[in-house]
Amino acid sequence: MSIAQNPLLGPMRKSMGNFTTMSYHGQNIVRSKAFHVKRKKTEAQKHQILKLTLLAKVYRQLGGITRRGFVENRKGMSSYNMFISANFKSAFDLTGEVPVISYPLLLVSKGTLLRVKVLGVVVQSGGILMNYASYLSLPYVLASDQIIAFALTTRGEMFISVQERGLEDTGSLFIPLQDVAVDQVVCCYVFARSADGKKSSNSVYVELI
């Protein structure tokens, strides 16, 4: 704060708010400072902002599916915060002038369950048929676990399929697509989630050929 012998006439020094005061040859000098200084953003800062913007857009496009995938070790964090944290450093193609989302690197689910092993994918006229290994002989893998798969289209539509892992060594899951060609699918993922909804696996990007 400023110090003055007299608020109007006495010698003044130090600062108050955005004012800096001083006495010079018997005169009081008051200088004002800008409350908000606009600094030019560096390219690195612009890229960081762009990455956050792109991830926020993808999160909205996913329509809340990440709330099923980010359920572990939340520590007060929302599924949005966990999605951003999991992808901010690793889900981008940085070979061009600006960052772009790399869907094969993007995680839509993250957890301690075993990742789903996709054995094969067949794109049919009515949808996507996916075969996977059950791995029931491994610890913490249960037949009651949910296998969740979905496809996001260029029209912003989400097609989701959910079923239990099952008792067989291998299983198959079908994602129905309504009047959607394979080249209209932006991305496709699959992940596992425990029956009680408390655990999940890292998601697997499913390449469609």
Q: Cα–Cα–Cα angle for 12, 17, 22, nearest 5°?
A: 20
Q: What is the pTM of this model?
A: 0.79
What is the DSSP annotation of 111-142? -SBPPPEEEEEEEETTEEEEEEE--TTSTT--
Those residues of the chain that have pLDDT short of 70 are 1-26, 28-38
Q: What is the pLDDT of residue 1?
A: 47
Residue 37 pLDDT: 59
- Cα–Cα dist 10/42, whole Å: 45
CA dihedral of 82, 95, 204, 195, whole degrees rounded to 10: 10
Predicted local confidence at residue 73, as pLDDT: 83
DSSP three-state, residue 61: helix
Give, in order, the Cα–Cα distances in Å from 4 to each of 18, 19, 21, 82, 140.
Answer: 16, 13, 9, 52, 73
pLDDT number for residue 24: 63
| C-alpha of 72 from chain center | 15
Domains located in the chain, CATH noted: 3-32 (no CATH), 43-205 (2.60.40.10)
